[in-house]
Amino acid sequence: MARVSINAGDEWVRDLVKLGNQADAVAARALAKGAGVVADKIRANLEALAEDFNPDEGKRPYHYLPEGAHFSGIPDYQKKDLLDSLGISPVQADAEGNYNVKIGFDGYGSQPTEKYPKGLPNPLAARAVESGTSIRPRQPFVKPAVSKSKKAAIEAMQEVVQAAVAETMKR
């Protein structure tokens, strides 16, 4: 799970104060909208990763590489598993009153192994692709997505809050 902290600024807080008892619901909607923008960029980056193929197709399971071999991309089944497991958690408030939403990968991959009979955990697979391993070069797709979509996410959140404030002011 990636952790990103976005400080909205004083203007956003002033707008939320104007909403009174609706502020919590509007803040949750705004965070969900912003998280959607970031998740869409993560999904696009993941889809753009180069796929690897199994040169020994049918001879042995893909997850067993020959001695000294390395992945050059991400296996197609693993990419599909990651795309299927990418999700956004519900917005929750913590004990300090801060709202949190998480974007990440859940569940297990479709290829069981001896070590992982349920399949490789998707968060582990995502981290291996993002950070690299001894048999896989790093192929960051989460960090660049967060960096490039941060401004758009803030703008999307501000639009939700400003629309709610405008609606409240009409009443």
Beta strands in the chain (DSSP E): 51-52, 74-75, 86-88, 92-93, 99-100, 103-105
pTM check: above 0.75: yes
Residue 59: the pLDDT is 46
In the predicted model, residues of the chain with pLDDT beneath 70 are 1-19, 53-65, 171
Q: Count of H helices and E strands in the chain?
A: 5, 6
Rg value, the chain, Cα: 20
Question: Domain segments of the chain: what residues?
Answer: 10-170
Cα(130)–Cα(143) distance, integer angstroms: 8
Structure tokens at 162: 């400003």
Query: CB–CB of 149/38 below 8 Å?
Result: yes
Using CA atoms, how far residue 43 sits from 60, 71, 156, 160, 162, in Å, is 30, 21, 18, 23, 27
* DSSP for 73-116, written as a single string: SEEHHHHHHHHHHEEEPPPEE-TTS-EE--EEE-SB-SS--SS-
pLDDT at 18: 65
Give the per-residue pLDDT at 60. 47
Coil, strand or helix at 139: coil
H or E element that contains 61: none
User: pLDDT value at position 88?
Assistant: 96
With beta carbons less than 8 A apart as the criterion, state whether 116 and 108 touch. Answer: yes
CB 150 within 8 A of CB 4: yes
Q: How far is it, in rounded angstroms, from Cα 74 to Cα 60?
A: 17
**What are 46-55's pLDDT values in tens digits?**
999 998 765 5
